[in-house]
Every structure is written in C-alpha cells, then in structure tokens.
C-alpha cells in the first residue's frame, strides 16, 4: 500500500495531535507500508520563523518520506499552493490519503482534490467536530462547513476518531460517514531517564510530585487545578507541583497563569519548566507520582497516554474522552470539572501511596496493550485495506 499522510504542520509548537502523524508513519513503515507525509513549514502563529527544512523534496526519516512545502500567504490558517499543486499532480501514485485536521485550508483543499481525483481519503478531525470546539468562532465555522467541510465529510471513506466518546459527541453537519475509532499511540520512555527530573530541580525523592504536562490553554483546566492545589496546601498536604508546557500561540494566557502562580502560596512549591522534550520529558513522566489533566474537553489526551505508559497514575476530568478506559482499568482517578471534585481526587491520591503504585502499574499495562504503536499500526492497516 502507498499511503499519503496530509497534515498542516508537524512542528512541536502544535503539540501531540500533529506529532502523532510521525509515530503513525514510522509504525506503518515498520509494517512495510509506503508512507509519504505532506506538510508545511508552519512553526507557530505568533510570528515565529518557519521550520528550517528542505522544501518540496523528499526527506527520508524512520522508513517513511516527508515533503515540506512553504506555508503562504498566511501562517495562522495553514495554506500552501505548492503542496496542493504537488498533490494534484501525484494523486495517482497513492492508494489512500489520511488527512489530519478540519477547518484548515490546506487540509480542506487536499480533501477536495482527493475527491476530484477519486483518491479515497480518511479524515481525522483532531477534536474540531466537538460541540465545545465548534462554539469557538461559531458563525465562521458554520459558514466554512457549509462552503467546504460538509462536502469533504460527505465524500470521505471514514472519519478517524481517537476515542468512542469523541465519535459519540461529534457533529457531522448532516453527513453519514462510517466512523473509524483508533486511538493514538505512545512509546514507552527510556528507563535510564528516571530520576533526572527530581535531580535537575532539586526535588527530594520522598516529596510527592504532581505533574501537569500539556499546552497551557484555557481548555486544559488550569483554572481548576491551581485552586485545587491551593486547597490542599491549606490543609497541610505536602507535594511539589511541576507545570510543564507553553503556548507560543497564546502567550498572554500563559503569562496570566504564571502570574497567578507567582501570587499564590503555590509559588514556593511550583516549578515551571516550559516546553520539555526528549529525555527530560521522559524523566518527568516517570518521576511524577501523579499526572493531572482536568480538561474541559479533550478528544483523546496524548499526554495522558504518555503518563500511563510511564507507569504514572492519572487524574483526569470526565471530559477527557478516554476517561471510561481509565476508570475501567483502574489506571487513575476520574472526576467532574469542578474545583471541589478535583481537590477530593488529589487528596485521596496523595494520601495513599500504595494505591498510587497499584493504579500506576495498571496504567502501564493498559497503555502497553492498547496504545502501543504496533497495535495501532495493525488496526490502521486493516482500516486502509477495507477502504481500498
């Protein structure tokens, strides 16, 4: 099979959902699938320089190929005439296109070209069909859907959702397209990284470490987590909080969060690391006693799965759409999007180290079985074969 993966950008700035395309492509390539990624050099929406990559030529990586194209004339909305021209000329060389993102001009135009060229395509919405997400810029998105995305959805061979709950709640704009539910994959961290995070920031081994690692964005529930942690401090519970993440697309909100912590009793118990990757990221995930993500909505939560495969129990809201899997596997704690509910879960978890260890082991076992890239690749290949 010859598969195209089309995504507006794979820059680290855009987080796990975009980066997932790299893991999927590598896993597919290991199963002897020919994979080409089409993407742009977009590297953020707030004036950052584009990615320093070769343009419009094949870049070999981990058994697959990437072709980058210049993002122009605007960065924020991801458009590349060169990418679309290349796609128009080469569609006959491929069996299927897997298109990642909706409401992005390069993805929307790519789906339109695939439809016109009779190339079967699968759409992954990245949470953009969630009613909560559609409420943002609602009128613009309704117009966009009417002009473009409804036809693209209707012409798709399937919609790739990453959880049953995402599929259940997503808007289809009146179209009837088969659902394909395949989660995202994660790679177990290197055991050699364990202990490095505590050493780097001087956190004693015996002090409970609570980790938030995600984009610093209003939807992630930091306005719930910070007061919940303040409540526990007032009660005399001992812990250290690590805030790992950034948001170059919304620096004002990131500054608000940092100022909120600085003015809080949490300040002396908090380390803000900024964006982390590689060995340091692996160390944080392994050194943490608890991983917390109380999002208002989250179609999957790749950071949750990364914490799980590191053996760290998770505390999440019931709006992270893999919450039922977490609950059934006893891989962590699940609660509502309320400060009191989150405080109660954190209190319970911090006071029972034995339960932390038990749920952390459950989390790792579940993630290795259900979120391994090999398992994801095999399920994806079966889907591709059925479509083709």
How do residues 79-111 score in pLDDT, each as one tens digit?
999 999 999 999 999 999 999 999 999 999 999
What are the backbone dihedrals phi and psi of residue 300, each rounded to the nearest 5 degrees, phi first? -145, -65
Task: Kindly state the average pLDDT of the residues 305-332.
Answer: 97
Cβ proximity of 63 and 30 under 8 Å: yes
User: What is the CATH code for 191-370?
Assistant: 3.40.50.2000
Give percent helix, percent strand, percent coil of the chain, each to the nearest 5.
45, 20, 35
Spatial distance between the Cα atoms of 46 and 260, rounded to a whole number of angstroms = 23
- Please calculate the CA angle 221-225-231 and round it to the nearest 5 degrees: 150
> Number of H helices and number of E strands within the chain?
16, 14
The residue that leads in pLDDT, 383 or 249, is: 383
The domain limits of the chain are 2-185+372-387, 191-370
To 10 degrees, what angle do helices 339-350 and 353-370 make? 100
Task: Kindly state the average pLDDT of the residues 307-330.
Answer: 97
Residue whose tokens read 């620096």 = 251
What is the predicted pLDDT for the residue at 191? 78
Token pair in block for residue 267: 């300040």
What is the predicted pLDDT for the residue at 111? 98
What is the predicted pLDDT for the residue at 19? 80
The Cα-based distances of 125 to 69, 201, 285 in angstroms read 22, 38, 27
The Cα-based distances of 268 to 81, 223, 343 in angstroms read 50, 19, 19
For residue 343, the cross-strand partners are none
Q: Do the domains 2-185+372-387 and 191-370 sit in the same CATH topology, yes or no?
A: yes
User: What is the CATH code for 2-185+372-387?
Assistant: 3.40.50.2000
What is the predicted pLDDT for the residue at 75? 63
Q: Counting Cβ atoms within 10 Å, is residue 48 exposed (0-12), middle (13-18) or buried (19+)? A: middle
Model pTM score:
0.91
Q: Counting Cβ atoms within 10 Å, is residue 117 exposed (0-12), middle (13-18) or buried (19+)? A: middle
């Amino acid at each position: 099979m010859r598969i195209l993966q089309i995504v507006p950008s794979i820059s680290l700035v855009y987080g796990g959902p975009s980066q997932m395309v790299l893991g999927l492509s590598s896993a597919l390539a290991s199963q002897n699938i020919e994979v080409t990624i089409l993407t742009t050099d977009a590297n953020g929406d707030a004036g950052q320089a584009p990615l320093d990559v070769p343009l419009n030529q094949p870049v070999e990586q981990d058994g697959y190929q990437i072709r980058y194209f210049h993002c122009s004339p605007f960065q924020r909305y991801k458009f590349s005439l060169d990418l679309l021209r290349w796609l128009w000329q080469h569609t006959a060389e491929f069996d299927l296109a897997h298109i990642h993102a909706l409401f992005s001009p390069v993805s929307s135009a790519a789906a339109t070209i695939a439809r016109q060229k009779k190339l079967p395509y699968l759409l992954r919405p990245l949470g953009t069909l969630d009613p909560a997400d559609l409420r943002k810029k609602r009128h613009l998105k309704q117009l966009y859907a009417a002009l473009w995305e409804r036809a693209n959805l209707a012409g798709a061979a399937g919609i790739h959702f990453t959880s049953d709950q995402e599929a259940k709640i997503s808007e289809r704009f009146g179209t009837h397209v088969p659902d394909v539910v395949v989660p995202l994959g994660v790679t177990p961290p290197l055991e050699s990284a364990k202990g490095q995070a505590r050493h780097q920031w001087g956190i004693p081994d015996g002090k409970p470490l609570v980790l938030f690692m995600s984009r610093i964005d209003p939807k992630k529930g930091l306005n719930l987590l910070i007061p919940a942690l303040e409540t526990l401090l007032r009660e005399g519970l001992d812990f250290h909080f690590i805030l790992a993440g950034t948001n170059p697309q919304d620096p004002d909100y990131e500054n608000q969060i940092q100022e909120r912590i600085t003015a809080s009793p949490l300040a002396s118990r908090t380390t803000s690391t900024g964006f982390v990757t590689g060995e340091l990221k692996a160390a944080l995930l392994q050194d943490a006693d608890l991983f917390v993500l109380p999002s208002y909505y989250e179609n999957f939560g790749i950071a949750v799965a990364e914490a799980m495969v590191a053996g760290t129990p998770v505390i999440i809201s019931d709006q992270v759409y893999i919450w039922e899997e977490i609950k059934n596997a006893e891989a962590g704690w699940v609660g509502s999007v309320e400060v009191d509910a989150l405080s109660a879960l954190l209190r319970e978890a911090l006071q029972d180290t034995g339960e932390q260890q038990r749920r952390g082991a459950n989390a790792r076992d579940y993630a290795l079985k259900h979120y391994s890239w090999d398992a994801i690749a095999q399920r994806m290949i079966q889907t591709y074969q059925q479509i083709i």
